Structure 1
Amino acid sequence: MTDPTGKGVKTLGLKIGSELHAQFTLVAQLDGISLNDAALRAVELYVTTKRQEPDFAQRATAALEEIQREAEARAGAIQSLFGTDPAEVAEAKPQTTRGRKTAAAE
Protein backbone atom coordinates (compact mmCIF):
# COMPACT_ATOMS: atom_id res chain seq x y z
CA MET A 1 0.00 0.00 0.00
CA THR A 2 1.43 3.39 -0.91
CA ASP A 3 1.45 6.27 1.51
CA PRO A 4 -0.40 9.32 0.11
CA THR A 5 1.68 11.70 2.24
CA GLY A 6 4.93 10.46 0.74
CA LYS A 7 6.45 10.08 4.20
CA GLY A 8 6.73 6.30 4.19
CA VAL A 9 4.85 3.60 6.02
CA LYS A 10 5.31 1.94 9.40
CA THR A 11 4.65 -1.64 10.39
CA LEU A 12 2.44 -2.25 13.39
CA GLY A 13 2.28 -5.61 15.13
CA LEU A 14 -0.78 -6.40 17.23
CA LYS A 15 -1.42 -9.15 19.74
CA ILE A 16 -5.12 -9.94 19.94
CA GLY A 17 -7.01 -12.82 21.46
CA SER A 18 -8.12 -15.74 19.33
CA GLU A 19 -11.84 -14.95 19.58
CA LEU A 20 -11.41 -11.29 18.56
CA HIS A 21 -9.04 -12.32 15.75
CA ALA A 22 -11.62 -14.78 14.41
CA GLN A 23 -14.32 -12.10 14.50
CA PHE A 24 -12.02 -9.53 12.89
CA THR A 25 -11.07 -11.98 10.13
CA LEU A 26 -14.73 -12.83 9.46
CA VAL A 27 -15.78 -9.18 9.31
CA ALA A 28 -12.94 -8.35 6.91
CA GLN A 29 -13.86 -11.34 4.72
CA LEU A 30 -17.52 -10.31 4.65
CA ASP A 31 -16.45 -6.81 3.59
CA GLY A 32 -14.13 -8.28 0.96
CA ILE A 33 -11.01 -6.55 2.31
CA SER A 34 -7.70 -7.71 3.69
CA LEU A 35 -6.91 -7.77 7.39
CA ASN A 36 -4.37 -5.02 6.71
CA ASP A 37 -7.01 -2.77 5.13
CA ALA A 38 -9.46 -3.55 7.93
CA ALA A 39 -6.84 -2.68 10.56
CA LEU A 40 -5.98 0.53 8.72
CA ARG A 41 -9.67 1.50 8.69
CA ALA A 42 -9.90 0.74 12.42
CA VAL A 43 -6.88 2.95 13.17
CA GLU A 44 -8.27 5.78 11.03
CA LEU A 45 -11.61 5.52 12.84
CA TYR A 46 -9.86 5.57 16.22
CA VAL A 47 -7.89 8.70 15.33
CA THR A 48 -10.99 10.43 13.96
CA THR A 49 -12.97 9.53 17.09
CA LYS A 50 -10.23 10.77 19.43
CA ARG A 51 -9.94 14.08 17.55
CA GLN A 52 -13.60 14.75 18.26
CA GLU A 53 -13.25 14.41 22.04
CA PRO A 54 -13.81 17.74 23.82
CA ASP A 55 -10.47 17.77 25.66
CA PHE A 56 -8.33 16.25 22.91
CA ALA A 57 -6.99 19.53 21.52
CA GLN A 58 -6.08 20.66 25.03
CA ARG A 59 -4.22 17.43 25.74
CA ALA A 60 -2.41 17.63 22.38
CA THR A 61 -1.38 21.23 23.10
CA ALA A 62 -0.05 20.20 26.52
CA ALA A 63 1.95 17.36 24.91
CA LEU A 64 3.39 19.76 22.33
CA GLU A 65 4.40 22.21 25.06
CA GLU A 66 6.14 19.40 26.96
CA ILE A 67 8.03 18.37 23.82
CA GLN A 68 9.13 21.99 23.33
CA ARG A 69 10.30 22.25 26.96
CA GLU A 70 12.31 19.05 26.63
CA ALA A 71 13.86 20.24 23.35
CA GLU A 72 14.84 23.56 24.94
CA ALA A 73 16.38 21.74 27.92
CA ARG A 74 18.41 19.48 25.63
CA ALA A 75 19.53 22.44 23.52
CA GLY A 76 20.59 24.21 26.71
CA ALA A 77 22.57 21.16 27.78
CA ILE A 78 24.39 21.08 24.45
CA GLN A 79 25.00 24.79 24.64
CA SER A 80 26.51 24.54 28.14
CA LEU A 81 28.54 21.49 27.14
CA PHE A 82 30.24 23.30 24.27
CA GLY A 83 29.86 26.86 25.53
CA THR A 84 28.37 27.92 22.24
CA ASP A 85 25.20 28.10 20.21
CA PRO A 86 23.96 24.61 19.16
CA ALA A 87 23.82 25.77 15.52
CA GLU A 88 27.51 26.66 15.70
CA VAL A 89 28.30 23.22 17.10
CA ALA A 90 26.55 21.57 14.14
CA GLU A 91 28.56 23.66 11.68
CA ALA A 92 31.92 23.04 13.39
CA LYS A 93 34.14 20.47 11.77
CA PRO A 94 35.25 17.65 14.03
CA GLN A 95 38.96 17.66 14.81
CA THR A 96 40.88 14.65 13.67
CA THR A 97 43.46 13.17 15.94
CA ARG A 98 46.15 10.69 15.15
CA GLY A 99 46.69 7.80 17.46
CA ARG A 100 50.11 7.30 18.98
CA LYS A 101 52.13 4.43 17.73
CA THR A 102 52.79 1.74 20.24
CA ALA A 103 56.05 -0.11 20.51
CA ALA A 104 54.39 -3.23 19.10
CA ALA A 105 53.14 -1.35 16.03
CA GLU A 106 56.55 0.15 15.18
Structure 2
Amino acid sequence: MTPILKSFAALSDETRLMIVDQLITEGELPAGDLAPGAGISAPAISRHLKVLREAGLVTQRADGTRRLYSARPEGLRMIAEWTQSRRTFWEGSLKRLEAALMEDGA
Protein backbone atom coordinates (compact mmCIF):
# COMPACT_ATOMS: atom_id res chain seq x y z
CA MET A 1 0.00 0.00 0.00
CA THR A 2 1.39 3.42 -0.89
CA PRO A 3 1.99 5.96 1.91
CA ILE A 4 -0.93 8.15 0.82
CA LEU A 5 -3.29 5.17 0.79
CA LYS A 6 -2.10 4.12 4.25
CA SER A 7 -2.75 7.65 5.50
CA PHE A 8 -6.26 7.83 4.09
CA ALA A 9 -7.05 4.30 5.29
CA ALA A 10 -5.87 5.21 8.79
CA LEU A 11 -7.90 8.43 8.85
CA SER A 12 -11.03 6.76 7.47
CA ASP A 13 -11.79 5.56 10.99
CA GLU A 14 -13.66 8.14 13.06
CA THR A 15 -11.72 7.39 16.25
CA ARG A 16 -8.33 7.68 14.56
CA LEU A 17 -9.33 10.94 12.89
CA MET A 18 -10.46 12.23 16.28
CA ILE A 19 -7.11 11.22 17.83
CA VAL A 20 -5.10 13.00 15.13
CA ASP A 21 -7.28 16.09 15.43
CA GLN A 22 -6.83 16.09 19.20
CA LEU A 23 -3.04 15.81 18.84
CA ILE A 24 -2.98 18.65 16.32
CA THR A 25 -5.10 20.84 18.59
CA GLU A 26 -3.62 20.01 22.00
CA GLY A 27 -0.08 18.93 21.15
CA GLU A 28 1.79 15.98 22.62
CA LEU A 29 -0.32 13.79 24.92
CA PRO A 30 -0.09 10.48 26.76
CA ALA A 31 -2.30 7.71 25.42
CA GLY A 32 -4.54 7.94 28.48
CA ASP A 33 -5.52 11.50 27.59
CA LEU A 34 -6.56 10.66 24.04
CA ALA A 35 -10.24 10.52 23.13
CA PRO A 36 -11.54 10.96 26.69
CA GLY A 37 -15.23 10.38 27.02
CA ALA A 38 -15.37 8.37 23.81
CA GLY A 39 -15.83 5.17 25.79
CA ILE A 40 -12.77 3.54 24.24
CA SER A 41 -10.67 1.10 26.22
CA ALA A 42 -6.92 1.55 26.65
CA PRO A 43 -6.16 -1.50 24.44
CA ALA A 44 -8.40 -0.08 21.69
CA ILE A 45 -6.61 3.29 21.85
CA SER A 46 -3.29 1.43 21.60
CA ARG A 47 -4.46 -0.41 18.48
CA HIS A 48 -5.60 2.86 16.88
CA LEU A 49 -2.28 4.52 17.74
CA LYS A 50 -0.39 1.61 16.18
CA VAL A 51 -2.29 2.08 12.91
CA LEU A 52 -1.59 5.82 12.99
CA ARG A 53 2.13 5.25 13.71
CA GLU A 54 2.40 2.72 10.87
CA ALA A 55 0.74 5.23 8.53
CA GLY A 56 3.29 7.86 9.55
CA LEU A 57 0.70 10.21 11.02
CA VAL A 58 1.77 10.16 14.68
CA THR A 59 5.01 9.65 16.57
CA GLN A 60 5.63 8.12 19.95
CA ARG A 61 8.33 8.88 22.49
CA ALA A 62 9.06 7.43 25.89
CA ASP A 63 9.06 9.60 29.00
CA GLY A 64 9.90 7.20 31.81
CA THR A 65 7.07 4.68 31.84
CA ARG A 66 4.73 6.90 29.85
CA ARG A 67 4.38 6.93 26.07
CA LEU A 68 3.70 10.37 24.62
CA TYR A 69 2.14 10.83 21.20
CA SER A 70 2.18 13.74 18.80
CA ALA A 71 0.95 14.45 15.29
CA ARG A 72 3.67 13.97 12.67
CA PRO A 73 3.76 17.08 10.43
CA GLU A 74 5.47 15.25 7.55
CA GLY A 75 2.70 12.68 7.31
CA LEU A 76 -0.01 15.29 7.48
CA ARG A 77 1.82 17.49 4.97
CA MET A 78 1.72 14.63 2.47
CA ILE A 79 -2.10 14.59 2.69
CA ALA A 80 -2.28 18.38 2.35
CA GLU A 81 0.00 18.33 -0.69
CA TRP A 82 -2.02 15.57 -2.35
CA THR A 83 -5.24 17.51 -1.71
CA GLN A 84 -3.77 20.75 -3.07
CA SER A 85 -2.51 18.95 -6.18
CA ARG A 86 -6.14 18.06 -6.97
CA ARG A 87 -7.32 21.63 -6.49
CA THR A 88 -7.29 22.39 -10.23
CA PHE A 89 -9.58 19.44 -10.86
CA TRP A 90 -12.11 20.56 -8.25
CA GLU A 91 -12.03 24.19 -9.28
CA GLY A 92 -12.57 23.24 -12.93
CA SER A 93 -15.41 20.91 -12.00
CA LEU A 94 -17.11 23.56 -9.90
CA LYS A 95 -16.76 26.15 -12.66
CA ARG A 96 -18.34 23.74 -15.17
CA LEU A 97 -21.15 23.05 -12.72
CA GLU A 98 -21.70 26.77 -12.19
CA ALA A 99 -21.80 27.34 -15.98
CA ALA A 100 -24.29 24.51 -16.44
CA LEU A 101 -26.51 25.89 -13.69
CA MET A 102 -26.37 29.37 -15.18
CA GLU A 103 -27.38 27.95 -18.59
CA ASP A 104 -30.32 26.09 -17.08
CA GLY A 105 -31.40 29.18 -15.16
CA ALA A 106 -31.21 31.47 -18.20
For the aligned pair, the TM-score class normalised by the smaller chain equals: 0.3 to 0.5
Larger helix fraction of residues: 2
TM-score normalized with structure 1 length: 0.33
TM-score normalized with structure 2 length: 0.33
Larger Rg: 1
Higher relative contact order (CA 8 A, sep 6+): 2
